Structure 1
Amino acid sequence: MSRNASDILLETLEAWGVDTIFGLAGDGINGVIEALRQAEGRIRYVPVLHEESAAFMATAYAKWTGRLGCCLATTGPGGIHLLNGLYDAKLDRAPVIAITGLPYHDLSGTFTQQDVDLDKLFSDVAVFSQRVMGAAHMEAMASLACRTALARRGVAHLSVPIDVQDEPESSEHPSPRGKRQTVSNVAAEGLLLPKPDDVTRAAALLNRASRVAILAGRGALGAEAELERCAEVLGAPVAKALLGRAVMDDQHPHCTGGIGLYGTLGTHAAMERCDALLIVGSTFPYLEYYPKPDQAPGVQIDFDAQRISLRYPAEIGLVGDAKATLETLCAQLQRKEDRSFLAEVQNQDRRWSELLEAAATRDATPMDPAVPVAVLGRQLAADAVVVTDSGHHTGIVARHLPMRPGMAYGVSGALASMACGLPYAISAALAFPGRQIVAVVGDGGLAMQMGEFATAVRLNLPILVLVLKNGTLGQIKWEQMLFLGNPEFGCSLPDIHFAAVAEAMGGRGFRLEDPARAQDMMAQALQAATSGPVLIEAVVDPNEPLLPAKVPETYRQHLQKALSAGTPGAAAIQAALQRNPPRSMLQEGEKAGG
């Protein structure tokens, strides 16, 4: 029996290693859906409730596994809905294939229903975006799409007209120059190493310095041992960008935790005092948290030459695989016997831990958001997969849920999109069967894609969702006050009973308001999650501040201006600022002179 274009598409995707496709059926993609039905058992199809979720899941799947992620959507609005999740893939360099439908080939461009030129629409988000013209065209296009997504670590998009999806291969008359495509590993990069002279120069720079700090990001994943070795030889504290949370144990003596708004006193001390900076696999975007200009010459390791000096000026750029480059570099480093800089930073880390403990052990209500997060962190399995959405809660997790060896962490990084948390968790459960999957999300982000909890129920996935419910877009609220000096406006959220919604969808729901019940309820919920999706609705203090470890003078001025100008709940916010850790964060900024 002759294959049709959709059969050829799936066979080609399968040959390139695609084993899971996330999508939502529609009349503009039904030819591919039928081929998926016939391919059941070879390729897993995961139906979702919103195409944006499908794109987030495909992006996360690529991040979790290192293989191609794949999503599909129908014509017009279906394809448009994919875009947000695909921009997540673009900005975080995840290889994803997006398949969309198009109207009948002879109706495209005639203003027919759902007539959106998706191959043009996707031209910014995708490194490859093409329209498939017939069954004979499909194999070449699908193979090239897969190769390009892997080679360029980005999004490849194929748009397929409805009638082309069902077109038999036998009815086509291919060009005499057409040939069958050969699937090969040419898309996979070989081991990329920097120039030996550059490594020698970088080692000399780091050897000359007396106070080296390291900033590690997602690009350092897979090079954990080499990173630790370099840090030990250099006596260097290691700060971690958000996507790089899993590159080093938070309890490691060289680890200072996060950087930026979610950063720590140890990281601030490291960046303020270092006289050289080694950046490994990170383009952390917030320049104000790096060393001051001309303070510390930089060495940057990245597989992509385009990323060198993108944020911090690198005197020497080492373009290559992080693991191999660190190994080569470390062989030329001289051990620093003076450990006073590291000891200084470690002392700040101890102070920071004491401050965080004050928040994590508060027994007042409304509950400090640190309480349920810290309780969860203490009860996680050794190989737990932790997901966050984007928002106020992301900083709470960064500070109060330590990463340990063997854990994995995922979030929408450079895009920092809300609504990613639950789709990421679903994808993790499919990518890592048998592992504990937990998602910590905010009520704003969860409300956007709450329907996917029903997807998790349908798939009976072992997921625990902890939603920190504060009734507000917390990060935006604090940015309005800190960054601009404006009163909070437009950030309040409706009162959704998430636990009840979870129960109505067929999962388990818990409601946590009393910090005294947090430990027992968390243990009960984690146990229940081994049998299917569970949600804990933790009602937390809406006035808990989101502050950097050292609050700059401009932020303090803006905050007081915003509170004086009529921010709702100003008295409660003022009271929250008088307890630790916010009080100490404000005092640290004062001592630093802003």
Structure 2
Amino acid sequence: MATVSEFVIERIREWGVRRVFGYPGDGIGEFDGALGKAERAGEGLEYIRPTHEEIAAFMATAHAKFTGEVGVCIATSSPGGFHLINGLYDAKMDNQPVVAIVGQQGLDSLGTFNQQESHLERTFSDVAAYVQTIVSPAQAQAVVDTAFRTAITRLQPCVIILPHDVQGQKMVEPGPEMWQSRSSAVAPSIRIAPPLEQLQAAADVINAGERVTFLVGAGANGATAEVLEAAELAGAGVITSLRGKQVVPSDVPFHTQQLGLLGSRASYQQMKDCDTLVLLGTNYPYGQFLPATGQARAVQIDLRPEQLGMRYPTEVSIWADVKATLDGLLPLLTRKEDRSWQEKVIADMAKWDDELTAQAEQTYDDGVNPRRVYQELNKRLPAGAIVTADAGTTADWYGHYIRLHDGMLGDLSGRLASMLAAMPYAEAAKFAFPDRAVVCTIGDGAFQMLGMNELITIKKYLSRWSDPTFIVLVLHNDDLTQVSWEMRTEDGNPVWSTSQDVESVDYAGWARLLGFNGITVTEDDDVAAAWDAAFAHRGVTLIDAHTSKNVPPLPPHITFEFAKNTAKALLSGDPEGFGAIKDSATSLVTEGVERVKGALRRDDRDHGDDGS
């Protein structure tokens, strides 16, 4: 007769799970033993053990994001479980189905202040949509099934707590007795479609619009063809959220990439001028970049009902799956013959691309231009590549320069915006797609958190990947750069070196110590060759790019408040004052020159000048 642990493992497999991310400990020891037994019998789960439980939780979240499957992470009682929490909040805030299995001390220890005994249900009650301790074999089936069902339908993390003594108890089949539940491991569909009257109401708003903009988020994953067909019919411009970047291919000319501080001016202009806004699977949080109140009629489609009408006053709010909704909406949309709005969007994006190119070509006294690093990476991304970014300036440059073509994937810690996530995201992507090239882009501060450790994990599992191409880009500037700029631009404070300085480390040397390819880049002219070498190498490469910390992550529209705070900070004893002022001025001048060039090109076209 199977034990509870053996039953749980088999039930997880019934839910379609084949890979889990965990870290062992005595509180989960009996369950780990059952995992080993199942593996030896050829009926187990692929068990990936990183260097830390937090990494395991981020890996589970990333697995859910990249595959659409439920991500599973496993940890021991108290300290192990606590380490999962940051990664689980990433799942919660980015709406991902994750199930955590956490060990606990024996039932008799609960409430007795025993070693590593804590109130885990209370601990996980905020992060998890469902958290439950299995206290008897007859209860195990219902708890496991409810955790998976809830994770899938509510797109949230759930936690199963498994006391050590229960793990080894003999499993019993629940019967029809009072208080016992006989549940099923059948995944429910979440392709919820709205009623016809709501579809017609949404179509009426979109058909009436003359300047329609689609704001597309990660909730539209899997609906690329439908989004593009709807945009073509509506003559719409398309903006994607940072996590929605992979939904719409970058070569769609009316796709103006992202919005906001790390977005494009073409997207900013769309929001300023549109008369109709359609939000598809996004809870975009930066309301200051959305249309003015009353400017646009709005439609929103989302599977999370509490987020409908949250960011902008919507005229039609549809609680449904984006793909299923667009399937019903497309026949109701009328094709707009006037393409002037879409043509303007395309022209604005072409001008923005010119600006980005010019800014990437600038040189700086204190290091390599990080913009150039990303621009050269983007030129070389192979088909099917997967790119991850971290919180901080890597997200800025990822948003500006990385263009994901059809079939490419990219992601990061979104609403939580946690540092260090880029590394476990990249690892999870590589496990899910071992035949694809994966590029992790991360800052030196985040890399020092836990990222450096994970090169050890990569060394351990490298042989499992059919294509071993795994590239880590470290932006090495000895500074927590994004926070340094936020201190200046948001609060008008000079940078406080005590909190911001990052100890310099030979990251390429660390990679070579582990047997990997390590490349140090200190000159702009060496960037292209470094990427060529990295993609030519069949294995792991770390590019240690010594970049300038004074290149400002400029928003597409400089507000008076932004400029005032920045000037105040730089003139108030900022340790990088002169360098930052000089480099900010360089970026702003470049931006201004490109705007003038664009205006001249438009004027030439208007007057029939062929440019010769």
Bin of the TM-score, shorter chain as denominator length: over 0.9
Q: 8 Å contact 1:148–1:187 — kept in the other structure?
A: no
Q: Which residue pairs with 1:341 in the alignment?
A: 341
**Structure 1 residue 484: deviation in Å?**
1.1
**CA pair 267-155 structure 1, distance change in 2 beyond 3 A:** same
The whole-number CA distance in structure 1 between the counterparts of 2:593 and 2:260 is 15
Contact 2:14 2:185 in 1 (8 A): no
Written as runs of structure 1 = structure 2, the 5 A alignment for 1:39-438 is: 39-40=38-39, 41=42, 42-169=44-171, 176-177=177-178, 181-189=182-190, 191-362=191-362, 366-438=367-439
Q: Secondary structure of the equivalent of 1:349?
A: helix
Three-state SS of the structure 1 residue aligned to 2:296 is coil
Q: Is 1:38 matched with 2:40?
A: no
Q: TM-score, normalised by structure 1?
A: 0.94
**Inter-partner Cα distance in structure 1 for 2:24 and 2:551:** 42
Amino acid at match of 1:464: I
Whether the aligned pair in 2 keeps the contact of 1:194 and 1:318 (CA below 8 Å) is yes
Residue 132 of structure 1 deviates from its aligned partner by 1.1
Q: Which residue of 2 aligns with 1:11?
A: 10
1:186 and 1:70, CA in 2 relative to 1: closer, same or farther beyond 3 A? Answer: closer
Q: Which residue of 1 aligns with 2:473?
A: 466
Can you list the C-alpha shifts for 1:237-295, whole angstroms capped at 9, x where unaligned?
A: 11110110011122211111110111111001100011111111111100000011111
Q: Residues 11 and 185 of structure 2 are in contact (CA less than 8 Å); yes or no, is this contact kept in structure 1?
A: no
The equivalent residue for 2:527 is 518
1:343-380 residue CA offsets vs partner (Å, 9 max, x unmatched): 33322212211111112233555110011211111111
Which consecutive unaligned segments of at least 5 residues does structure 1 have?
589-594
Aligned AA for 2:202?
Answer: A
- Number of residue equivalences: 583
CA distance in structure 2 between the aligned counterparts of 1:587 and 1:516, rounded to whole angstroms? 23
Instruction: Provide, for residues 307-334 of structure 1, a one-character-per-residue CA deviation record: whole Å limited to 9, x for no partner.
Output: 2111111111122221232232232222
Q: Please state how far the C-alpha of 1:513 moved relative to its aligned partner.
A: 1.3
Do the aligned partners of 2:176 and 2:182 also contact (CA within 8 Å) in 1? no
The CA distance in 1 between the partners of 2:298 and 2:563, in whole Å, is 31
Q: Deviating runs (4+, > 3 A) in structure 1?
A: 172-184, 362-365, 580-583, 585-588
> Per the alignment, do residues 107 and 586 of structure 1 end up closer, same or farther by CA in structure 2, a change over 3 Å counting?
farther
Where 1:390 maps in the other structure, the secondary structure is coil
Query: Greater CA deviation, 464-473 or 82-91?
Result: 464-473
Q: Assess if the C-alpha contact under 8 Å between 1:550 and 1:585 holds in 2.
A: no
Q: Is the 8 A contact 2:215 2:238 kept in 1?
A: yes
| 2:577 counterpart letter in structure 1 | A
Distance across 2 between alignment mates of 1:233 and 1:169: 57
Residues 20, 45 of structure 2: 8 Å contact kept: yes
Aligned twin of 1:591: none
For the 8 Å contact 1:454–1:506, the answer to whether it is kept is no
Distance in 2 between the 1:364 and 1:492 partners?
19
Q: Distance in 1 between matches of 2:311 and 2:169?
A: 49
Whole-angstrom CA distance in 2 between matches of 1:271 and 1:518: 35
Q: Residues 25 and 73 of structure 1 are in contact (CA less than 8 Å); yes or no, is this contact kept in structure 2?
A: yes
| CA distance in 2 between partners of 1:323 and 1:145 (Å) | 25
Which of 573, 577, 581 aligns to 2:580? It is: 573
Per the TM alignment, residue 207 of structure 1 is displaced from its structure 2 partner at its CA by 1.8
Q: Is the 8 A contact 1:363 1:516 kept in 2?
A: no
Write out per-residue CA displacement over residues 546-570 of structure 1, whole angstroms, 9 at most, x where no aligned residue. Answer: 1211111111111111111111111
The CA deviation string for residues 452-498 of structure 1, in whole angstroms up to 9 with x for no partner, is 11101100153211111121111111111111111112222111221
Q: What TM-score, normalized to structure 2?
A: 0.92
Alpha-carbon separation, structure 2, partners of 1:546 and 1:478: 8
Q: Is the 8 A contact 2:440 2:471 kept in 1?
A: yes
Retained in 1: the 8 A contact 2:551–2:580? yes
**Contact 2:550 2:584 (8 Å CA) reproduced:** no
Distance 1:81 1:97 in 2: 15
Amino acid across the alignment from 1:11: E
User: 1: CA distance between counterparts of 2:362 and 2:118?
Assistant: 54
**Higher mean C-alpha deviation, range 205-214 or range 549-558:** 205-214
Counterparts in 2 of 1:443-522, with a 5 A limit? 443-449=444-450, 450-460=452-462, 462=468, 463-489=470-496, 490-522=499-531
1:64-123, Cα deviation, whole Å (9 max, x unpaired)? 111111111111111000000000111111111101111122112211111221122101
1:152 aligned partner, one-letter code: R
Gaps of 5+ in 2: 596-612
Q: Deviations over 1:7-61 (max 9, x none)?
A: 1110111111111111111111111111111121431001111100000000111
Across the aligned residues of Structure 1 and Structure 2, the Cα RMSD in angstroms comes to 2.0
Q: CA deviation at 1:230?
A: 1.6
Q: Which moved more, 1:300-309 or 1:3-12?
A: 300-309
